[in-house]
A = this chain, B = another copy of it.
Amino acid sequence: MSGYPDLTAIRSAHRLIAPYIHRTPVLTSENLDHLTGVSLFFKCENFQKAGAFKSRGATHAVFSASAGQLHNGVCTHSSGNHAAALSRAAALRDIPAYIVMPENSSRVKVEAVVHYGGIITFCRPTLVSREQTLEKVREKTGAIEIHPYNDPVIIAGQATAAKELIEDTDHLDVIIAPVGGGGLLSGTALSTHYLSPGTRVIAAEPAGASDAFRSFRDGTLHPSVEPETIADGLLTSLGSVTFPIIRDHVDAIVLASEGSIIRAMKLIWERMKIIVEPSAAVPFAAILEGLEELRGSRVGIILSGGNLDLDRLPWITGS
């Protein structure tokens, strides 16, 4: 697949992965609607296989590759949800997944990869070490690399979340997705562009990791430098494939403070009785912080995942 995934590519991705992923529910909350003055539709990718939307893209990448390509397995470097999702998808095709993880990855994320049978190589927690270690793993194993976001095949997979959200709701005025590397966001923007062109797409990003906001504003790709946010899924930079799609098809990128992200996450837990990880709370945090123009609108929010260490919650000091 080259260039932007088109609608045919997204539909084909959806058919291919449907047997292996959940069609996750869209939940509403009278309580949060009342609090914000917005009609909210939450697409619950926290209930997705392996606990995040990442299963869509990873499963698409693994199942759209040929047996020959997969002969020596797949590999990636990731400290997070992509690692677990790729391990799971590889196990479904009975091939090995080699995962390079920084040695400071959270226990929960490491356990998830182990649970799905991924083979871990630890490295130092720097991008250089991650890339060098992955290169060594690739040379040694002959596995093909599955990038977490900067790949049209991955983007077509992630696009199926917004496709389902659009199919399962009446007209939405806006869809908001969080942005890290931009795989989910670019897929969301494309599905919305093809299937619901009257719907605006807004991205929400932590103020402490505002590279996408700045890249979008300046029209040039800024790397993510020393990001600091609790939203650990959103630390990465946009890529050469995701940035142009975002530049062309996203209407706005807004920022959310750490305090709002924590407040949003706790409100979702408390009022909706569902577990979302900090990254998934960023769109709702942006609504809490302002976005006055959304009052009275119908707004879809992609809750990107639900994986976090339940022993360490940001609102409990010392945990």
Contact = CB atoms under 8 A, between A and B. Distances in A.
A77 interface: no
A318 interface: yes
How many copies of this chain does one complex carry? Answer: 2
Contact of A318 (B266, B270, B310, B318): B318
Contacts of A51: 273
Contacts of A319: 316, 318-319
A85 to B, nearest CB: 15
B311 A316 contact: yes
Contacts of A311: 315-316
Contacts of A313: 310, 313, 316
A227 interface: no
A276 B319 CA distance: 20
Interface of A: prevailing SS: loop
Interface in A47-75: 47, 51
Interface in A190-241: none
Interface of A: 25, 46-47, 51, 266, 269-270, 273-276, 306, 310-311, 313, 315-316, 318-319
Given A25-B25, A269-B275, A313-B316, 14 more contacts: A47-B273, A51-B273, A269-B310, A273-B276, A273-B306, A275-B275, A310-B313, A311-B315, A313-B313, A316-B316, A316-B319, A318-B318, A318-B319, A319-B319
